[in-house]
Amino acid sequence: MGNEMHVETVWTGADLVTMRDGKYHLIPAGALAVRAGRLVWVGPEAEMPAFVAERHHRLPGGIVTPGLVDCHTHLVFGGDRSQEFEQRLNGVSYAEIAAQGGGILSTVRATRAATEEALVASARWRLDRLLAEGVTTVEIKSGYGLDEESELRMLRAIRQLGERVPADVRATCLAAHAFPPEFREDPEGWVDIICERLLPRVQALGLADAVDAFCEHLAFSPQQVARVFDRAVALGMPVKLHAEQLSALGGAALAARYGALSADHLEYATEEDARAMAQHGTVAVLLPGAFYLLRETQRPPVDLFRRHGVPMALASDANPGTSPALSLRLMLNMGCTLFGMTPEEALAGVTLWGAKALGLADSHGSLETGKVANFVHWPLARPAELVYWLGGELPCTVIYRGEPQ
């Protein structure tokens, strides 16, 4: 009797969708045991050791998945752009909207004018929508401040959110998102500030877990991105990249050569990009929300990523301009219907591969012994139902670090 292991909680009564290796790996009538916020047993209930549990939760059937991971968001910003959305649908061109002071610079103005507390409060409302649908890990980027103090304020707001919500919140410094209006005539000057002043401060203050950039003909050139990445790597910070969204610039291959965690968007990625990403372990993060809202027609090369063994993540890209998406589950459906992913690939994209895109695959993203006990119970018969139902908040019970929320 003295050899039983004491655990805080045991969960039984549902089928487990483990997502080990990015596959369903279903365990019918499964059981989970949690100790100190981590999984210490994952397997069939009939084979579970005789744990001494403080609490035993018997679930009423259904399935349990890993907690969902939204690995690419821009949830912290000031104002909103619904007026521009309406203008575009009424026939006003993006160029005209930009000439009126709209576009990303309108978000920059609103973000610069917002207090840290206001940024936290508005982002919290948006984040709560994601958490209600089973998200337990989320990445949030800066990039709408575009001056040193506003970028730092955004990153502090992201860290505050991480302290206030039952989710693991990762912060990414995206100062290389666009050129500030003050540097329109001197783009290299902004790159200098990012490299010489901002990134060292961010790293010293522990305000970011990674560094991102937007590589595109209307944003940062591959050469400018390389400068930012050289500095980030020298500071010991992981990198990732918005790449190949609107044109093929070789950004994904560039990111892979820097050992990037991920390259994101990728509508125009080439076989060379896919090969480089496979070689360096860089995840392809697909963002169907922006593809849908911008009414793009060039799909990311899902078949190429499959062929070369590049893991594919899916994310909401929640942002005010091109993907005002507050449902990661809707992105599961869009990943299948718009991009041709399978339901299993889509679910892997918001669990294990989403975690890998954040450098967290060893601790998050699947139901495996030793991993963090973030999981979700859904009153559904099959995992494909998560992808199948369009909209509507599916009832679910979210367990974060072993505790029901």
Q: Which residues are annotated as a binding site for N-formimidoyl-L-glutamate?
A: 144, 319, 321
Q: Which amino acid is at 57?
A: H
Is residue 180 within 8 A of residue 251, CB to CB? The reply is: no
Angstrom CA distances, 321 to 104, 201, 286, 290, 292, stand at: 7, 28, 17, 9, 12
For residue 112 the two structure tokens come to: 């610069």
Among 354, 378, 351, 377, smallest CA distance to 366 is for 351
> Residues at the annotated binding site?
72, 74, 81, 144, 177, 242, 245, 317, 319, 321-322
Q: Which residue has the tokens 């125009």?
A: 268
> Residues at the annotated binding site for Zn(2+)?
72, 74, 242, 317
Among 274, 57, 261, smallest CA distance to 139 is for 261
> Residues at the annotated binding site for 4-imidazolone-5-propanoate?
81, 144, 177, 245, 322
> Residues at the annotated binding site for Fe(3+)?
72, 74, 242, 317
